[in-house]
Chain A
Amino acid sequence: MLSERELERYKRQILLFGEEGQEKLKKAHIFIAGAGGLGSPIAIYLAVAGVGRITIVDMDTVDQSNLNRQILHTDRDVGRKKTVSAIEKLQELNGDITIHAIDTTIGGDNCDKLVGRADGIVDAMDNFPTRYLLNETAIRKNIPLFHGAIRGLYGQATTIIPGKTPCLACIFPKAPPKEVFPVVGVTPGVIGTVQATEVLKYSSHDGRLLTNRLFIWDGREAHAEEIAVERNPACPVCGEKHTTSSRKPARKKR
């Protein structure tokens, strides 16, 4: 049940999702991998929209050079753990939701456990090896992965629904090379809010998801484009030949 305060707080978006949709947001548990450039706008918008439970994971400390884009953190947070800074800001933005901030590195040994029983994973990472781990966890747990990535003024996003859409490894079988990428805050702003929009639509059962399509943002040209993406039957992660023995029983969702 939504409280009087919640009804008032979410009044303008209840016009959009209805009280039923808002209840669904309240019951949702979303896992955000990363509290950096993408993770900041994603976490902020999911928090203020009333996603009832947010788990955010990051192992880093706030650095001065993060502040041009990682809008969860401010000058006074430099040197503090990103998780500490994140939980403070998010709880301040919305005291009616539950936030867990976990200070750790996501790895092959802890990814499934960290995600736990979350309803969806948001990819706010800055590297493909960890993204591939999140993808495998999403497939194993049969929960969506909301992918986003950026570089400079360019970005991409897609929504992965296990069994229904290509997985991350179908779309990107090989990772782009590692680099210190250029970035200005507006780009993770654009892509992060696309990802957050997807989470809200998925959680409230509204709209048409960014599935089977890769959204491409070219900020330099102010041009958005999408390309169709398909499942790879031979995908080592989600393909038909993939042994299902390592998969846990699928959880019923939507």
Chain B
Amino acid sequence: MTVKVRFFARFRELLGTDILAEPGSGTVLATLVRKIAEKNKEGYAAIFDEHGNFREFVIVMRNGKRVETGDAGKTIIADGDEIAVFPPVAGG
């Protein structure tokens, strides 16, 4: 199956975007993003903490619907899914 992962803002700078991946069936969302992020150490550290969990402020969407990052470890990916990973900004 093929899924698309889109990174935004700083995540995009570090990891690129519109990444097509072909995960095996039963792959969960967190694993998919982790594998893609692993190609860039800084990108990985921006998104995941030292335990490999999504940092708590990161916003993850699956097909336009918010996925609680706490649930990303049990959300199974389906063919054609589009995953968006977004870092909110705080400056003014």
Q: Measuring CB to CB, which residues of chain A are less than 8 angstroms from any residue of chain B?
A: 34, 36-39, 123-128, 148-152, 154-156, 172-179, 181, 183, 188, 216, 218, 220-221, 225, 227-230
Q: Measuring CB to CB, which residues of chain B are less than 8 angstroms from any residue of chain A?
A: 8-10, 12-13, 56-57, 59, 61, 64-66, 84, 86-92
CB-CB under 8 A from B65, the residues of chain A are 228, 230
Looking at the complex, which one of B10, B12, B57, B91 makes contact with A172 (CB distance below 8 Å)? B57
Sample (7) of A-B pairs whose CB atoms are under 8 Å apart: A36-B92, A149-B92, A151-B10, A151-B90, A177-B57, A179-B90, A227-B86
Would A227 and B84 be within 8 Å (CB), given that A154-B9, A174-B56, A218-B9 are in contact? Answer: yes
Q: Are B64 and A176 within 8 A (Cβ)?
A: no
Task: Give Cα A38–Cα B91 distance, bound, in whole angstroms.
Answer: 9
Task: Give Cα A175–Cα B59 distance, bound, in whole angstroms.
Answer: 11
Q: Are A150 and B89 within 8 A (Cβ)?
A: yes
Interface centre among B13, B64, B88 (most CB of A within 10 A): B88
Q: Are B92 and A125 within 8 A (Cβ)?
A: yes
Task: Give Cα A39–Cα B91 distance, bound, in whole angstroms.
Answer: 12
Would A126 and B91 be within 8 Å (CB), given that A174-B56, A177-B57, A216-B9 are in contact? Answer: yes
CB-CB under 8 A from B87, the residues of chain A are 176
Would A149 and B57 be within 8 Å (CB), given that A218-B12, A225-B8, A227-B84 are in contact? Answer: no
Looking at the complex, which one of B12, B56, B64, B92 makes contact with A148 (CB distance below 8 Å)? B92
